[in-house]
Amino acid sequence: MRTVELTGHDLRIEDVVAVARGEARVRIAPEARQRVREGFALLMELVERGVAVYGITTGFGALDRRRVRPEDTSVLQHNLIVSHAAGTGPSHATEIVRAMMCLRANVLAQGVTGVREEVLDLLVEMLNRGVHPVVPEQGSVGASGDLAPLAHMVLPMIGLGRAEWQGEILDGTEALFRAGLRPCTLAGRDGIALINGTEQASAVACLVIAEAVELARTADVAAAMSAEALLSLASFADPAVHARKPHPGQAASACNLHRILSGSGWAAEAERRKLRDPLSIRCTPQVHGALRDALGWAHRVVEIEINSANDNPLVFLDEGRVNSNSGNFHGQHVGMVLDLLSAALTSLAVISERRVARLVDERLNEGLPAFLVLPPTGEEGMHNGLMLAQYTAAYLVAESRALCTPGAVQSIPTCANSEDHVSMATVSARKTWQILHDATGVLAIELLAAAQALELRGIGRCAAATRAAWAAVRARIPTLDRDRVVAEDIQGATSLVRSRAVLRAVEDRIGRLA
C-alpha cells in the first residue's frame, strides 16, 4: 500500500481519494512534524507572556470576551468538543469520514494551528488503523468551519462518541482500544484546532470531483454509443469546429467523441441520409465540456482549500505572533464550487436523459423498435422493453433539478450574531452528493439503452471503440429480448459505470481518453 506524506502544502485530491478508499496510508512529513512542535511551543510561550489568545484564554464564539483561567484550558477544550458535537441525521459513509480525517490532519501538519503533536499522531493512527468515527451528516453551517461534524470526529479521540472498527459500531474508547490505541486528554488549543475548518464539505467535494471526472469520460462513451445507434453524423465532433470555440473541456470531450466514433460504419451510413442531428447529440461536446471545465475550476479551488490553514487563530512561526481575528474557516469557496458542480452534473443528466428518450421512441430513433425490444413473432405489443428505464431517468433528472437550488446563498446568522454570515457549504455538499448519484443512474440507463440499441442496429458496422463498450455491457447484462425486471439491469449498468468497466474496455481499444 502506498503512503501519502502530509506536509500541509501539497496534498492532491487524488491522494485524498486513495486514502478515503483505504488504498493509501498517511504519514506526517518530518519537516511538518518539526513545525507542529514549534507552533505549539510558540503558542504556549505567548500565552505565558499574557497574550490573549482566542479559544485558549477566552470562551468561544460570542463568549470571546469572557476570560478563561490558564488552569482551565484543558477543560475548555474538552467542553468545546462535547458541546459542539451537535450533529443530527444519518451517518456519513466511511470514505467521507476517512477523507475528513486526512484533510484535517493535513491542515494540522502546517504547524500554524498550535495543535500538539501527540494529538495529530492519534488522528493519523486512527486513520491508518481504520478507526472511523460516526459522523452525522447534518448540522454544519460551514462557518466557523464544519464544527459539529468535526467535533463528532474528535469524540472517539477523547474516549467519547462512537466509531466503526472492522465493520462494527463501537463506543469510541472500545474502538480505539481494539485498534491498539488510547484516548488522549486535550490541552492547549487542541480542541479548537481539530474542528475549526471546512473539512466536511471539502471531503465531499474531493470525492465528488474524483467520481465526476470519471463520469464525464463515461458520458462521452455513452453519448457516442447513442449517437451511433441513432444513425447520427460524426461531424459534430469535427476538431475544426471545436478549434473555433476553445473551451478546454469542450475540446477534450469533442476529441474523445471523435476518437470513439472513428471508423464507424453507421456514421458513414448517416452521411448518405442527413445533414444535421438534434442538439442532444450535436451539442454533446458543448454540454459535457461545460461540466469538465466546471470540474477543472472546482479542482483548482478545492486543492487550494485542502492545503490551507482552515483555522482561527493562527500562529505565525517566522514572526513569532498569533492572529485571533481571522476567518479562514469560512467555507464559501467550497460551497460555491459545489453549487456549480450541482448544476453542471444536472446538465449532464438532462442531456443524457434526452438521448435516452430518443433511443426508446420509435418515431425518433431511425427505425429501431419501440422501447428497444424486438418481440418474438406473435408477441407484438406484449413487451415494454426499456419504456420504464426512461421514466426512471426522468425522475432522477427532476430530483436533481429541484436540488439545484443553491446552498451557498442560504446564510442564517449563528452564535448570537457574532457568526452572522455563514457558507452553508454542507447543504451544498449533501445535495451535490445526491445529484452525483442521480446523474450516475441516468448515465447507467443511457449505457443500457445505447448498448441495446447498437445491438438492434447491428454491431458489425460499429466503431471499434463502441463495439468494445457494447461487449463490456453485455458481459454483465444480457440482451433484452423479452420483459424482465428492469431494476436489475439498471443496477448492473450502475455498477458498470462506478467500476469504470465500460470506460476501461474502450480505453483498452483506443488508448486513454481525455
Q: Does 421 bind another protein (CB under 8 A)?
A: no
Among positions 456-485, residues that touch another protein (CB under 8 A) are 482-485
Among positions 57-96, residues that touch another protein (CB under 8 A) are 58-63, 66-68, 72, 75-76, 78-80, 82-89
Helix (H, G, I), strand (E, B) or coil at 26: strand
CB of 339 vs another protein, minimal distance in Å? 10
- Rounded Cα distance between 400 and 242, Å, is 29
CB of 469 vs another protein, minimal distance in Å? 22
DSSP H helical ranges for 109-198: 117-129, 147-154, 172-178, 190-195
Which CB, 249 or 407, lies closer to another protein?
407
Q: Does 499 bind another protein (CB under 8 A)?
A: no
Q: Which of 40, 54, 236, 433 is catalytic?
A: 54
Which CB, 268 or 364, lies closer to another protein?
364
CB of 176 vs another protein, minimal distance in Å? 16
- Rounded Cα distance between 56 and 76, Å, is 8
**Strands 131-133 and 162-165, bridge-based pairing:** antiparallel
Helix (H, G, I), strand (E, B) or coil at 271: helix
Q: Does 296 bind another protein (CB under 8 A)?
A: no
Size of the site for another protein (CB under 8 A): 96
Q: Name beta bridge partners: 24.
A: 2
Q: Does 360 bind another protein (CB under 8 A)?
A: yes
CB of 190 vs another protein, minimal distance in Å? 15
CA angle 222, 287, 445 (to 5 degrees): 30
54 assigned to active site:
yes
CB of 492 vs another protein, minimal distance in Å? 12
CA angle 158, 136, 165 (to 5 degrees): 55
C-alpha cell at 416: 448570537
Among positions 149-208, residues that touch another protein (CB under 8 A) are 151-152, 155, 160-161
Q: Does 416 bind another protein (CB under 8 A)?
A: yes
Angle between the 199-229 and 284-306 helix axes, to the nearest 10 degrees?
Answer: 160
User: Which position among 239, 278, 327, 413 is part of the footprint of another protein (CB under 8 A)?
Assistant: 413
Q: Does 399 bind another protein (CB under 8 A)?
A: yes
**Which of 388, 459, 383 has the alpha carbon at shortest distance from 229?**
459
Which CB, 256 or 280, lies closer to another protein?
280
User: Which position among 256, 390, 452, 466 is part of the footprint of another protein (CB under 8 A)?
Assistant: 390
Which CB, 99 or 360, lies closer to another protein?
360
Burial class, 299, CB count within 10 angstroms (exposed 0-12 / middle 13-18 / buried 19+): buried
- Rounded Cα distance between 141 and 193, Å, is 18
Among positions 362-381, residues that touch another protein (CB under 8 A) are 362-364, 370-371, 378-381
- Rounded Cα distance between 468 and 233, Å, is 20
Catalytic positions, written as ranges: 54
